[in-house]
Amino acid sequence: MRPIIYLLIIVSFTITSCANSQVKQANTVKMDSTNKENPVFSQQDPAGKTDTSKAEISNEEWKKILPADVYYIAREKGTERAFTGKYWDHKEGGTYYCQACRSPLFNSNGKFDSNCGWPSFFEPISKGSIIYAPDNTHGMKRTEVMCGKCKAHLGHVFDDGPPPTGLRYCINSVILDFSAGSGGEKAKDAEKKIDNKQ
């Protein structure tokens, strides 16, 4: 009996260690990238005052319109827990829309497998689909990304993404609405590139 018990202990310890290291890795990636100047922000919006909003609605109105979890992310700039959203590991070809205003934000061919626990994209569907703002909360220097149409908080962009942009748009699943369609082939290529790196 004893060897079996030892084996069970070792197996359970290994599983726990893997889970912990994965979480640590995700945290490390996030922390490391926060101290760098973000290239997107400086190139496109050095003043942080870009206003391409076409759906300016008060938070009170949004609260009536949006489900509580979407409101929390979109208007209170919340963050869903890593590996809990429905799109972090989603590989289907199609388009990701803003859950608040249905504006198209990302194509699946701009998505890649970052394994950070949130859906990650290396480029938005178009330049105007996203707006940027500096975010110095929580003791970090980050660049917030918002919907170009309704200014819903989407997540943050970091400069540790894959080619060709080198960017990682780290987005909350809750604020995304997916529609299946074309655009899945390039996403697979991007995953392969990441795998080769490891």
- Catalytic center residues: 170
Structure tokens at 65: 């319109």
| 101/190 with CB nearer Zn ion | 101
C-beta of 152: minimal distance to Zn ion in Å?
4
Shortest distance in whole angstroms from residue 55 CB to Zn ion: 6
The dihedrals phi and psi of 76, each to the nearest 5 degrees, come to -105, 10
Shortest distance, position 188 Cβ to Zn ion, whole Å: 28
Strands (E), 13-118: 94-98, 104-107, 111-112
Q: How many residues in the chain?
A: 198
Residues of the shown chain interacting with Zn ion in the complex, contacts defined by CB under 5 A: 98, 100-101, 103, 147, 149-150, 152
51: left (phi over 0), alpha (psi -120 to 50) or beta: beta
What type of residue sits at position 27?
N
Cβ distance to Zn ion smaller for residue 26 or 154: 154
Handedness of CA 164, 195, 108, 72 (dihedral sign): negative
How far apart are CB 153 and Zn ion at their closest, in Å?
10
Closer residue to Zn ion in complex, CB, 40/100: 100
Q: How far is the CB of 147 from Zn ion (least distance, A)?
A: 3
Q: Are the beta carbons of 154 and 76 closer than 8 angstroms? A: no
* Residues 95, 87: Cα–Cα separation, whole Å: 12
Separation between Cα atoms, residue 31 and residue 177, nearest integer Å? 27
CB closer to Zn ion out of 70 and 150:
150
Dihedral angle of Cα 143, 37, 167, 31, to the nearest 10 degrees: -70
